[in-house]
Structure 1
Amino acid sequence: MLGILCGYLSACNFSVGGDPTYPEDRDRSERGAGSNSTIFGEGGLFGDSKASGPDNGATGVGVNSLLWRASLDTISFMPLVSADPFGGVIITDWYTPPQTPDERFKVNIYILGRALRADGVRASVFRQTNQGGTWADAPVALNTSTDLENAILTRARQLRMSGVQQ
């Protein structure tokens, strides 16, 4: 075990002494001060916005950007609690349809990878009904999650065919 750890550390080009001049003694202009390139540009946190490649629009986020955008478009009528484009998780708050004020829905969407594939998105739908002023869990129709996933995939195909900037 110790041998594996030592091998890993030596492969990482780890140096005990380090670079004594980094970063305190370096000039700010040398490090790109005043430039967004290290965070927002090429190779930065959000990736290169001009890059394109065989990853089907996955540049800049941790998951497929077409599925991400299609998911947000599909559930845009629901309030969001959390949206993590790097982890591929979208969580909505409870939504009460105007037609049925005694029931509400919540959706969790998981984008599972960088490829635009039919199995690249999963949706979980939760339903509650109002019973005497208290919200109680209720069953969801079996095809609801599948229908939502299909709507997301259809929207992703529309975005791809329209050549939306990825």
Structure 2
Amino acid sequence: MDMMRMAKGVTLVASLVVLSGCGAVNSWFGGSGSSGRVVETRPASEIADDEIYGPGKAPTSTIWDIFKPRADAGKVGAVNKYIWNASLQVLDFLPVESVDPFTGVITTGFGTPPGGGRAYRATIYISDPALDARSLNIALMTNSGPADAATVRAVEDAVLTRARQLRAQDSRL
């Protein structure tokens, strides 16, 4: 029985040696195995920059960039900070579900204004860093569908008025 076990072990080791050598033998005779050539690739950081920023558009910066003039302090990401804050203040009765200052979107849940009987839900989109009426888009929904255009216009006017007030307060400092 020990002889049988030893014969099986030797057969197994021999077959493993033969199989492992097939790749090397195949490549020696021009087979499809590894050719032994070194493949040149780009560094991972270069590939990541191309994926994130686009081919050849990676940002370049130096230590001297800290001395360059900074962007307008009235911006939060790519939106106007006064319109952003005014939107949150005017519609503070609505529960905020999500905010993204870089894309300029504020989404709220349903809430009832003080002294009102109808519940509203708002999606605010601030599309431009300028303090301008074209920068603000508000969509109001009720439980039964979209809100009246007059209501939406009144809310937009209130937000823009509050934004101008915030900017005036900021410029006095």
Name the TM-score class by shorter chain: 0.5 to 0.7
The equivalences for 1:74-89 within 5 A come to 74-89=90-105
Counterpart of 2:134, as a letter, is: D
CA RMSD, Structure 1 to Structure 2 (Å): 2.9
Task: Kindly indicate whether residue 31 of structure 2 is the aligned counterpart of residue 16 of structure 1.
Answer: no
Kept in 2, the 8 Å contact 1:121–1:149? The answer is yes
Identity among equivalent pairs (%): 35
Corresponding residue number in structure 1 for 2:166: 159
Counterpart residue type for residue 42 of structure 2:
V
Where in structure 1 are there 5+ consecutive unaligned residues? 1-14, 20-41, 44-50, 129-136
Q: Sort the Cα spacing of 1:114 and 1:98 in 2 relative to 1 into closer, same or farther, 3 A.
A: closer
TM-score (norm 1): 0.57
Deviation at 1:116, TM superposition (A): 1.1
Asked whether the equivalents of residues 56 and 114 of structure 1 are also in contact (C-alpha less than 8 Å), the reply is no
Question: How many matched pairs?
Answer: 111
Counterpart of 1:65 (choices 57, 71, 81) is 81
Q: Deviations over 1:49-81 (max 9, x none)?
A: xx865x4711x4221111111111111121101
Describe the SS at the equivalent of 1:91: strand
Any gaps of 5 or more consecutive residues in structure 2? 1-40, 46-64
Contact 2:93/2:114, CA 8 A, preserved across alignment: no
Q: Which has the higher helix share?
A: 2
Q: Which residue among 83, 107, 113 is the counterpart of 1:91?
A: 107
CA 1:152–1:138: 2 relative to 1, 3 Å: same
Question: Is residue 148 from structure 1 mapped to residue 158 from structure 2 by the alignment?
Answer: no
With the length of structure 2 as denominator, give the TM-score of the two structures.
Answer: 0.55
Q: Distance in 2 between matches of 1:116 and 1:56?
A: 13
**Where does structure 1 differ by over 4 angstroms across 4 or more consecutive aligned residues?**
97-101
Cα deviation for residue 106 of structure 1 reads 0.4
The one-letter code sitting in structure 1 at the alignment partner of 2:160 is: L
